[in-house]
A and B are shown apart, each in its own frame.
Chain A
């Protein structure tokens, strides 16, 4: 129960952060990537704020604790290799982000806000995620639950 409530509150706090920071306004995303006279550097401050908190807390948590407070073990990415999937995937994601002005979190929270554009974008996003997962589903063997995921 506390796992579910905690996850809900985590998602809610994340969503408040997205809205407050401007990530849910596609005009601010496009404004960050348009280096003209009207350049809007706000997005850099979002990353700065998030990293100022996350980077030191990450180090502290994984060094001090053998396991998370409510779960039997940490489920963290272990891969360090660079492959074509990472580069191609990140590039495709970037094109979609620049074109639509939404990344996944802001799209989902904006669907809650009743945005028609977010719903169109988000529906296409979820369907393509499902399609990708279906096409690449493991056949005979089951994958480990925590394999190959960076985030």
Chain B
């Protein structure tokens, strides 16, 4: 339990909620990262620049943030290169096939009371929990 950070996580969550609400209020858009990124890849005319700028803001924050708080970006679990590539590929395909990720379904979708997003969030949470169980307790650690 020593890594439990309820206050920082709650405040961070509130900032995520404000950013999502801002994108809705000003742009009329859902702040789903996989949807924003996927829309860049298969672009419609006039629908690209805001997506690229949103993603640029996300990346720029990491560039500056790691100077201020390097621990916030620390990768301290043991994963092989191939495990990371497989994981990234599953997230890429899964979020496009399932039309959303943690932000689009888990925050914005549930916030909109979308039935699809409730179901998707339960599904990806359950799948993540089962995967972590297998990694940590069946194969015991490094994959």
Q: Is there contact, CB below 8 Å, between B73 and A89?
A: no
Interface size range on B against A:
35 or more
Cβ contacts under 8 Å, B62 to chain A? 15, 19, 24, 108-114
Contact of A54 among B38, B101, B111, B130 (CB under 8 A): B111
Q: Select the residue from A14, A24, A29, A129 with max chain B CB neighbours within 10 A.
A: A14
**Cβ–Cβ contact B28 & A16, under 8 A:** no
- Name the interface residues of B1-35: CB closer than 8 Å to any CB of A: 1, 3-6, 8-35
Interface check B138, CB cutoff 8 A: no
Give the most central of B56, B95, B125: most A CB within 10 Å: B95
A88-B98, A124-B92, A151-B105 known; A110+B73 contact, CB < 8 A: yes
Q: At the interface, is chain A mostly helix, strand, loop or mixed?
A: helix
Q: Give min CB distance, A15 to chain B, whole Å.
A: 3
Q: B53's contact among A7, A19, A40, A55, by CB below 8 Å, is which?
A: A7
A63 interfacial contact with B, CB 8 Å: no
- A73 interface contact, C-beta 8 A: yes
Let me know if B94 and A50 touch, CB within 8 A: no
**Given the complex of chains A and B, what is the CA–CA distance between A15 and B60 in angstroms?**
9
Q: When the two chains form their complex, are residues A51 and B107 in contact, meaning their CB atoms are under 8 A apart? A: yes
List, in ascending order, chain B residues with CB within 8 A of A74's CB: 24, 28
Q: Report Cα–Cα, A124/B18, bound state, in Å.
A: 29
- In the bound complex, residues from chain A placing their C-beta under 8 Å from that of B39 are 149
* 30 cross-chain CB contacts under 8 A: A3-B49, A9-B57, A10-B26, A10-B27, A11-B53, A11-B58, A19-B62, A21-B10, A33-B131, A47-B106, A49-B9, A49-B13, A49-B16, A58-B111, A61-B21, A62-B24, A74-B28, A76-B28, A80-B114, A89-B96, A93-B94, A98-B127, A100-B84, A104-B101, A108-B58, A113-B65, A118-B73, A120-B85, A126-B37, A132-B97
